[in-house]
Amino acid sequence: MDLRLLRYFATVAEAGSATRAAALLHVSQPVLSRQLRQLERQLGLRLFEREGRHLRLSRAAEDFLPEVRALLRQAERLERVAGDLAAGRLEALHIAVPTTTLSDLLAPFLATLGAGDPVPRVRELDPRGAVAAVRAGADLAVVTRPPPPALASRALAVLPVWAYVRADDPWAARAKVAVADLVTRPLVLLTPEFRPRALLDAACDAAGVAYGEVVEVGNAQVAQAVAAAGRGIAVVTDDPRFGLVPLRIDGPEIRLYAAWDPGHHAAATLAALAARLSEFAVERYGAEVRPG
């Protein structure tokens, strides 16, 4: 079905006459009349009742017109989408991200996006990593391990792992704490599948020390809540809550990377968004988090 002929039909119906429609379409009236007759032959429908020099929609055309308008709107949208794709623009941005990074870094960054930026769609990162997330449809994956060479990537930030203590804790005046000292205290740790826990485990192994009393939880905010209740020192990477005081743990650091498919039609846009996210992390946490 020829969209051009459908546009002619809709224009005549909206203009109320072939003469006005021909002027709007920048064609002669005889050409327009031939095109309308061609459409009627294609459809096998009589679209207009001809009353002298005037055209009136047939009953069939009155039912057909709303469908034509809907199809033309969809065609216009497809043209816009194709133009955006060809220009490397994104209408929607699908991001896969770890939960803690989402709440403390990505969500505040998304609040800075403007009307000209894509609409974000966010989901929790596939536990198998950046490649799995991209294959599952993510435009951009934020991960805590270096992405493989098959993906385009950018280092975003280097974030500390924090030990959170209550304001009345004897360590509250400290700025840092060594792993060997930390394990002498009751700890509230994330379960082993979380990156901060894996980094702390590795730091303990390297220092030749072992945990003492430990409470394990499956959520960073819950870890801080348990610490605020006096059950131990929370070891997490997210921002402080519940009036807790942060102590930087010497050694372990969370490194964040953005990864995307280098063949993505909007690869340049994704690279620019990753650069903006990295700069936002520096603005939020200070120059010390900028990747080396």
16-70 pLDDT, tens digit per residue, is 778 888 888 888 888 888 888 888 888 888 888 877 666 788 888 888 999 988 8
Q: Tens of pLDDT along 153-198?
A: 999 999 999 999 999 999 999 999 999 999 999 999 999 988 889 9
Residue 50's DSSP bridge partners are 55
Residue 90 pLDDT exceeds 90: no
The tokens describing 230, both together, are 């006096």
Residue at 39: amino acid letter = L
Question: How many angstroms separate the CA atoms of 6 and 12, rounded?
Answer: 10
* DSSP structural state of residue 146: P
By DSSP bridging, strand 176-177 and strand 245-260 are: parallel
Q: Do the Cβ atoms of 181 and 251 come closer than 8 Å? A: no
Domains by residue range for the chain, with CATH: 3-86 (1.10.10.10), 92-157+255-289 (3.40.190.10), 158-254 (3.40.190.290)
pLDDT of residue 86: 58
Q: How high does pLDDT run on average in the chain?
A: 87
Provide, rounded to the nearest whole percent, the portion of the chain with pLDDT above 70: 93
Cβ burial, residue 160 (10 Å; 0-12/13-18/19+): buried
Length of the chain equals 292
pLDDT of residue 246: 94
For the CA atoms of the chain, what is the radius of gyration? 31
Which CA distances in Å does 14 have to 42, 62, 66? 21, 11, 11
Mean pLDDT, residues 58-85 taken together? 79
Q: Do the Cβ atoms of 69 and 10 come closer than 8 Å? A: yes
SS3 for 84? Answer: helix
Lowest mean pLDDT segment, chosen from 29-33, 221-225, 238-242:
29-33
Centroid of chain to Cα 80: 21
Lowest mean pLDDT segment, chosen from 77-86, 165-174, 254-263, 281-290:
77-86
Q: Which of 148, 143, 151, 129 is nearest to 271 (CA)?
A: 151
Evaluate if pTM is beyond 0.85: no
Which CA distances in Å does 250 have to 20, 211, 240, 263, 271? 78, 16, 18, 39, 32
